[in-house]
Amino acid sequence: MKKVRILGRILRTSGADRIIYGFLGFVALSACAIWLWEPEIATFPEALWYCFTAISTIGFGDVVVHGVLAQTLTVLLSIYAAAVLAIFTAVVVNYFQQIVSTGRQEDLEAFLDQVDRLPNLTHQEMEALARQAKKWNHHRITIR
């Protein structure tokens, strides 16, 4: 649940949620326009399918548009999709960095808590603490 909250926070603070909603709205409006003005497309779901194949660059060819409006919307959809994909990729990378950072912070807090209680630790807890300190020291050295 914590990971979902982090992702939601990243989406909101970066503004990516508005970008994604705007993109989905543009896809729906484009599909509606293509459905209404393109004689080759008979249903709204077929127009959505066409938009999906266009923005995903799959382009099966089972649905083809010939009108200038539909072709223009296809170009705009493709450009918009490329930009949204780039933004979404950055958000996902940021999300995973936040997850790793949160985990490290929790590990560090637990480690410092044990250091604060050093005189009261058992022999096994002291050994575990020493192993953790060596692991962090090794990690710090390999990062440099």
Helix, strand, coil percentages for the chain (3-state, nearest 5): 85, 0, 15
61-70, 115-124, 135-144: which is most confident: 61-70
pTM comes to: 0.64
Distance CA 54, CA 71 (A): 10
The model's pLDDT over 100-109, given as tens digits with 9 standing for 90+, comes to: 777 677 766 7
Distance CA 7, CA 65 (A): 37
Q: In this structure, are residues 27 and 55 in contact, taking their beta carbons and an 8 Å threshold?
A: yes
Residue ranges and CATH numbers for the domains of the chain are 2-143 (1.10.287.70)
Q: Compare 131 and 30 and report the one with higher pLDDT.
A: 30
pLDDT tens, 58-102?
Answer: 888 888 899 999 999 999 999 999 999 998 888 888 877 877 777
* Crossing angle (nearest 10°) for helices 68-116 and 16-37: 160
Which helix (H) or strand (E) element contains residue 95? helix 68-116
